[in-house]
Amino acid sequence: MCYFTETTTRRVFKEDIPIFLREFGKRASVKKVFGFARATGKENWEAWLLAQPEYLPWLLESGADINAAGGLALVLAARHGEFSAVKRLLNEGAKENIDRALVESAEKGRYSIVDLLLKHGVNPCALDCLAIKVAAFNGCRAIARLLADNGANQIKEAMDKALMGGYPEIAWMLKDYILKNSGR
């Protein structure tokens, strides 16, 4: 998989999008645009374009499939903290890999995106409760608490991950959470 830095990604897109518009016009077939992008040898263009808030309106107006590439656009937008893109993709009906988007945003410490995904009904226990485990492992205390408050279980496993990641304070917070919510 090819990953671009945010700076590189934005520079490349800003240079190449006008080429797409000149080549295909505003009524361009998104399939043609993406085919053109793939032909240039750039990986994951489809998902990267959809994950960019500044290009999302044009792509949606052109009929882009927001769940293309297995929902990678939502995952990438969540990973890179593109709140407005995540919100728009969710409002437009993005469903593919929504659980992975939760894990990516939890891992990267994107509290507002985790909260947004949970409000859109994402199961905090999806993917074997991986979101709370990666949040704990990476020191994202507020996110670990948010996930626990929203029904993430496997809190003992998350405590272990917090300790493995070097965050004993998160392990203690989760232990307190278990004690307060177990009726003791």
Is-contact 61 33, C-beta < 8 A?
no
Is-contact 177 145, C-beta < 8 A?
yes
What is the rounded distance in angstroms from the CA atom of residue 166 to the CA atom of residue 151? Answer: 24
Q: Per-residue pLDDT for the chain (184 aa), expressed as one digit of tens each?
A: 222 233 333 333 444 444 445 554 554 555 565 666 666 655 555 555 665 666 777 777 777 778 877 788 888 889 989 899 899 999 999 988 999 999 999 999 999 999 999 999 999 999 999 999 999 999 999 999 999 999 998 999 999 999 999 999 999 999 999 999 886 4
| Long-range pairs for 145-148: beta carbons < 8 A, 24 or more residues apart | 145/173, 145/177, 146/111, 146/114, 146/115, 146/118, 147/106, 147/114, 147/118, 148/174, 148/177
**In the prediction, which pLDDT does 10 show?**
37
Is-contact 150 120, C-beta < 8 A?
no
Q: What is the pTM of this model?
A: 0.74
SS3 category, 182: coil
